C-alpha cells in the first residue's frame, strides 16, 4: 500500500485533471509508474480519457528528463551528486548511467529508459556530453510513449486495485529491460559495423544532419 503522503499528493493532482498527471511526472517526487497507473485508474472511473492520460503523461515525462538533462549540461555531476536525492537519483544511478552512455553511445538514451536503475539517470551523461536537444528529446519521447501506454493501461485494468501496480508490473518491466539490453547491444554492434563502411558512414552523417536541421527550425 502507498504511504499517506503519496496518497495526498495523488488526490491533489487528481483535482488538476490532465495537468495534474503532467505535473506529477514533471516533479519526479513520485515514481512515474505510480503516477501513470493512478492515471489509468482515473481512466477506469471515466474522469479522463486513455489517450489524454498517455499524452499528458508523455509530455510530463519528457519535461522531467529535460530538467535532469539541463542540470547535467549546465551544473555537471557535482550538482547532481549533491542534490540528486531530491529527485530520486543516487550516486550509484549516475555511475551506472555514465557507464552505459560511454559504452553504447547516444542510442542508449532510448534503450536505457526501460531499465530500472538507469532509466532516469541516463539523462545526466547526455547533458554532460552536451548531446543535441533535438536528438535527446526525440529519443526520450520515443521511449516515454510506450512506457506511458503500458502503465496507464495496467492502471486502467486494475481499477480500484491499482495500488498493486508494483507486483503486477514486475514481469512487464523485466521484459522491457531485457528488450532494452538486447537493443543497446545491437545498436553498439551496428555502430561498430557502420564505422567500417564509407557508405553507411554517410547515412549516419545524414541522420545527424537531420536532427541538427530539425533543432534549428525549432529555434526559428
Which among 6, 57, 10, 14 has a CA at the least distance from the CA of 36?
57
pLDDT per position as a tens digit, 71-125: 888 877 777 677 666 666 677 767 777 776 776 667 777 777 777 667 777 788 8
Residue 12 makes CB contacts below 8 A (sequence gap 6+) with: 20
Q: What pLDDT does residue 162 have? A: 72
Is 61 in contact with 141 (CB distance < 8 Å)? no
Give the pLDDT band (50/70/90) at residue 128: confident
Q: Is the pTM of this model over 0.85?
A: no
Question: In the predicted model, is pLDDT for residue 54 greater than 90?
Answer: yes
Mean pLDDT throughout 144-160? 87
For residue 89, what is its C-alpha cell?
537519483
- Residue 31: which region, alpha, beta or left (left: phi > 0; alpha: psi -120 to 50)? beta
Amino acid at each position: 500500500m502507498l504511504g499517506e503522503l503519496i496518497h495526498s499528493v495523488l488526490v491533489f493532482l487528481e483535482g488538476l485533471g490532465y495537468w495534474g498527471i503532467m505535473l506529477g511526472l514533471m516533479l519526479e517526487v513520485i515514481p512515474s509508474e505510480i503516477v501513470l497507473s493512478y492515471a489509468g485508474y482515473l481512466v477506469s472511473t471515466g474522469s479522463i480519457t486513455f489517450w489524454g492520460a498517455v499524452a499528458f503523461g508523455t509530455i510530463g515525462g519528457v519535461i522531467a528528463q529535460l530538467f535532469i538533462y539541463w542540470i547535467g549540461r549546465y551544473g555537471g555531476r557535482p550538482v547532481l551528486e549533491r542534490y540528486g536525492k531530491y529527485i530520486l537519483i543516487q550516486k550509484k544511478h549516475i555511475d551506472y548511467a555514465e557507464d552505459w552512455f560511454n559504452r553504447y553511445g547516444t542510442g542508449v538514451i532510448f534503450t536505457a529508459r526501460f531499465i530500472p536503475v538507469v532509466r532516469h539517470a541516463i539523462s545526466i551523461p547526455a547533458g554532460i556530453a552536451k548531446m543535441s536537444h533535438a536528438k535527446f528529446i526525440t529519443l526520450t519521447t520515443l521511449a516515454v510513449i510506450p512506457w506511458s501506454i503500458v502503465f496507464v493501461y495496467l492502471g486502467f485494468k486494475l481499477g480500484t486495485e491499482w495500488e498493486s501496480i508494483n507486483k503486477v508490473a514486475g514481469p512487464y518491466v523485466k521484459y522491457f529491460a531485457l528488450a532494452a539490453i538486447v537493443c543497446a547491444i545491437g545498436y553498439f554492434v551496428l555502430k561498430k559495423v557502420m564505422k567500417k563502411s564509407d557508405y553507411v558512414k554517410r547515412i549516419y552523417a545524414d541522420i545527424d544532419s537531420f536532427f541538427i536541421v530539425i533543432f534549428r527550425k525549432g529555434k526559428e
